[in-house]
Structure 1
């Protein structure tokens, strides 16, 4: 996995300019998502419930937008980030809920197993977008198969953005909104790369 190449592709996906229209539309999408999560988190107890209901569908919507945008290069349509509420809301909700529960349980064994599971399941929403008929378990199984042998690469890829987030945080935190699309677009390019390496067709319950 060539991190520099994936990042270069991500920049190209976002139009190549951090103040270009494509990148700015992506910033708007992540700002709205962060705002929704922030507002929900300010409400005791109810905020947790709201967060559980919203996170899965929003994550699906953003993954769908990034996949589409990685193929056509057009600016994101902000309204499409809410597609997860009409495209199998229950399935998207369960995917987030059960993935979060299982990662938390694995983390109880020590932090490392939780991180490994999180990395292994990090492509689940992209898979859900491309295979809407899959159940939550099939999405997790497919993501595990897809990332097999590449979890270390994924971990280092995530770590490579720490410096970017640090610099972004120096601008009153606003700069991180420009890093988020770059980070997620890079993961989208990573998804395409992983598929090209070992994930031609997945059969639920079967092997890759």
Structure 2
């Protein structure tokens, strides 16, 4: 199945389910962008406008670090939940917001997978950009595999992803590039366009997985 066909099937799968897909996208973005706030906020009125002056406390930098850690920890379960949602959408023609939280039922597997993928990809990026990109492509099917094979450990799922992506990394890279325009449009529309681009992108990726898997 070529790139055009994958995208067409993704659009067909999303037909009538865009609202739910957008809701899942918004929730996932919120979960991946948690910010803790410290310090004292002082409010004053000036010429009819309210100005928020933040008095930074010594805990501000610690708060930022904690926020980053929380976001990192949640990234794995959220990614697994996204994979579960879109595979269900394609296989069962079923779209439910609660599917996003499936990743939290397997929190440890999702977290370990995210940690390992991050470490492995980072180590390859230390060599050169290209090996890092290739590594990212190789590990890209890990969460889908964890959904289909819950008996596998994270490292086994990563290994199977590498095997599955043999001969398909170039295809996926070109598929990624084909969405650059959509994401650019999303950015210049102050994020509104991303509510279309992200579900479209994620559905196409799930379709790509099913295609190379022979399903």
- Deviates most, 113-122 or 167-176: 167-176
Q: For 1:95-174, what aligned pairs fall within 5 Å after superposition?
A: 95-174=113-192
Q: Which runs of 5+ in 2 are unaligned?
A: 38-62
Instruction: State how many pairs are aligned.
Output: 190
Alignment check: 8 A CA contact 2:33 2:71 kept: no
Structure 1: distance between partners of 2:145 and 2:155: 11
Return the match for 1:24 from 19, 30, 38.
Answer: 19
Q: For 1:59-98, what aligned pairs fall within 5 Å after superposition?
A: 59-74=79-94, 76-86=95-105, 88-98=106-116
Alignment check: 8 A CA contact 1:91 1:136 kept: yes
Change beyond 3 A, Cα 1:34–1:41: farther
Alignment check: 8 A CA contact 1:41 1:51 kept: no
SS in 2 for 1:38: coil
Alignment check: 8 A CA contact 2:31 2:78 kept: no
Alignment check: 8 A CA contact 1:57 1:93 kept: yes
TM-score, normalised relative to structure 1? 0.87
Alignment check: 8 A CA contact 1:29 1:81 kept: yes
Structure 2: distance between partners of 1:41 and 1:158: 32
Q: Which runs of 5+ in 1 are unaligned?
A: 198-208
TM-score, normalised relative to structure 2? 0.84
Return the match for 1:54 from 63, 74, 92.
Answer: 74
Query: Which structure carries more strand by proportion?
Result: 2
Alignment check: 8 A CA contact 1:14 1:73 kept: no
Task: Name the structure 1 match of 2:43.
Answer: none
For each residue in 1:39-86, what CA deviation from the matched residue of structure 2 results, as whole angstroms up to 9, or x when unmatched? 248841101221222111111111011111101223x21122111111
Structure 2: distance between partners of 1:40 and 1:145: 37
Change beyond 3 A, Cα 1:41–1:59: farther
Flag the structure with larger Rg.
Answer: 2
Structure 2: distance between partners of 1:81 and 1:40: 21
Task: Name the structure 1 match of 2:53.
Answer: none
RMSD: 1.5
